[in-house]
Structure 1
């Protein structure tokens, strides 16, 4: 493998890992902080991709405005879902959570089939993000992929600042540690959880919108990403956003270079990684902190 190919694969690994982080950070907020096993989280990624497909003709090359509109719609969806369904799950056992969230997957898939159909769709890359950056004499790397990585980094920094440097983040962390104490201090824990859930849905949908020009938009696309994101959450440590970032990048590199060097065994690479890390640290890479 020459240097240019190695650089391309490293960029692919980072880009994949950062996209995984967007989805996994939303999952770790919902799973780690609210204590709800949300199997429908992958469906929010799919909804984001289909929103990108549906909104693209409206916004054209105004891609940033399209992303902001999609984030707003996804946050509203998340707020309504938490109020209508998830608010009743906090005191229920995990089996009821799994059954209810799995039923939401079926509902979302049926609604997608009715509203858009079962065809595979593509989302056009905006004109201002077409082209490639030269890597060596013959290889190039798509500009849009660099934009996707940069956007994920910006969101990761913003998420870190909100959780660790704001009053809202302080309430979220306190609610994760002891919800009864937070309620006793006069904080509306139900409203706080709705905000957290809406943010988790928006992050997953944003990842789907960013990924849609690089991949096809197709039925059931949330299933695989959900499994990988649960792996990321377990590796990083349940409830740890910084752990999810580290785990996402690890999974990105293992998956990308596993496909390059061990194509026939690449499907098990991330699960071997998870097993090794859990043997070493059963609580995950970061069991405390955010």
Structure 2
């Protein structure tokens, strides 16, 4: 195993982690502020990917595709918050799960009706195509590096939004005590719509960024949703910093596990068995990581202690 290959896999893990962060940060905002279990968050990831692919095919512009992914996901989020989610805040979590699961089915079948069952493809723009040479002579895809940079910049922007702006103060106050915030004259319904649309926009952007690496297809949001829940449990519900740290931990654990474990088992197994056992154990690593962290810190790395 060469050092170059190991560094490439670490960067792949970082890229996977920051795209998970974009999805998980919106989910943790909604969960932390509203106390809502939103299983349809992955569908908003899919909406962003399809909007980006369709816009890129129509205009040929990757920047317009990214803007369309954000706008489409935010609009879809605002519509379902006003039309459906707003009626669930006072309901039991089981009602929230059932209603948002129904939204998954609606989004999936609606997307299949609009775009068909065949996958779409979002091409990487020419300016970001090809590799770039990093220190040490390591060649790595420029688009993946751009994705890492975008994720980190958005993480900084979210931190500044939550800690330095009036909207951030209202979001944190609404998370702490929504009744007092409403009594002080803040329109809590409008605040919830803004938070939900913001979370949806982040998921849509993540979908567009991932859509240029893999195919855009119906159902692509469900696997990401599961990993996003793992991330917010590891990082702590309601914590943007926890989402970033948790997402990078999950990304690195999953990527390096799939890279290193088969090679480790080849030391004392034949190639076919080592690949099978290593891949199976690698798929379990993130859940082992989650269980280990919860044993050490039941509220997650940055979650508020009861």
Q: TM-score, normalised by structure 1?
A: 0.96
Corresponding position of 1:20:
20
Unaligned stretches of 5+ residues in structure 2: 262-277
Q: Deviations over 1:186-234 (max 9, x none)?
A: 0000000000000010000000001111111122111110111100011
Corresponding position of 2:267:
none
User: SS at 1:229's partner residue?
Assistant: helix
Corresponding position of 1:118:
117
Q: CA deviation at 1:138?
A: 8.4
Corresponding position of 1:280:
296
Distance (whole Å) between structure 2 residues aligned to residue 50 and residue 72 of structure 1:
12
Q: Kindly indicate whether the alpha-carbon contact (under 8 Å) linking 1:237 and 1:286 is maintained by their aligned counterparts in 2.
A: yes
User: SS at 1:141's partner residue?
Assistant: strand
| RMSD (Å), alpha carbons | 1.5
Q: Deviations over 1:88-133 (max 9, x none)?
A: 1110000000000000000011101111111122211111111111
For 1:249-268, list aligned pairs within 5 A: 249-262=248-261, 263-264=278-279, 265-268=281-284
User: SS at 2:139's partner residue?
Assistant: strand
Q: Kindly indicate whether the alpha-carbon contact (under 8 Å) linking 2:44 and 2:204 is maintained by their aligned counterparts in 1.
A: yes
Q: Deviations over 1:10-54 (max 9, x none)?
A: 110111000000000010011111111001111111111111111
Distance (whole Å) between structure 2 residues aligned to residue 81 and residue 163 of structure 1:
24
Corresponding position of 1:6:
6
Distance (whole Å) between structure 1 residues aligned to residue 298 and residue 99 of structure 2:
28
Distance (whole Å) between structure 2 residues aligned to residue 69 and residue 216 of structure 1:
18
Distance (whole Å) between structure 2 residues aligned to residue 4 and residue 136 of structure 1:
11
Q: Kindly indicate whether the alpha-carbon contact (under 8 Å) linking 1:72 and 1:202 is maintained by their aligned counterparts in 2.
A: yes
Q: CA deviation at 1:135?
A: 5.3
Q: Kindly indicate whether the alpha-carbon contact (under 8 Å) linking 1:237 and 1:243 is maintained by their aligned counterparts in 2.
A: yes
Unaligned stretches of 5+ residues in structure 1: none
For 1:1-290, list aligned pairs within 5 A: 1-60=1-60, 62-134=61-133, 140-262=139-261, 263-264=278-279, 265-288=281-304
Q: Kindly indicate whether the alpha-carbon contact (under 8 Å) linking 1:231 and 1:271 is maintained by their aligned counterparts in 2.
A: yes
Q: Kindly indicate whether the alpha-carbon contact (under 8 Å) linking 1:4 and 1:135 is maintained by their aligned counterparts in 2.
A: no
Distance (whole Å) between structure 1 residues aligned to residue 294 and residue 62 of structure 2:
40
Distance (whole Å) between structure 2 residues aligned to residue 136 and residue 5 of structure 1:
14
Distance (whole Å) between structure 1 residues aligned to residue 225 and residue 23 of structure 2:
8
Q: CA deviation at 1:64?
A: 2.3
User: SS at 1:37's partner residue?
Assistant: coil
Q: CA deviation at 1:73?
A: 2.4
Shifted more, 201-210 versus 218-227: the winner is: 218-227
User: SS at 2:215's partner residue?
Assistant: coil
Shifted more, 226-235 versus 117-126: the winner is: 117-126
Distance (whole Å) between structure 1 residues aligned to residue 46 and residue 79 of structure 2:
18
Q: Kindly indicate whether the alpha-carbon contact (under 8 Å) linking 2:72 and 2:204 is maintained by their aligned counterparts in 1.
A: no
Q: Kindly indicate whether the alpha-carbon contact (under 8 Å) linking 2:15 and 2:147 is maintained by their aligned counterparts in 1.
A: yes
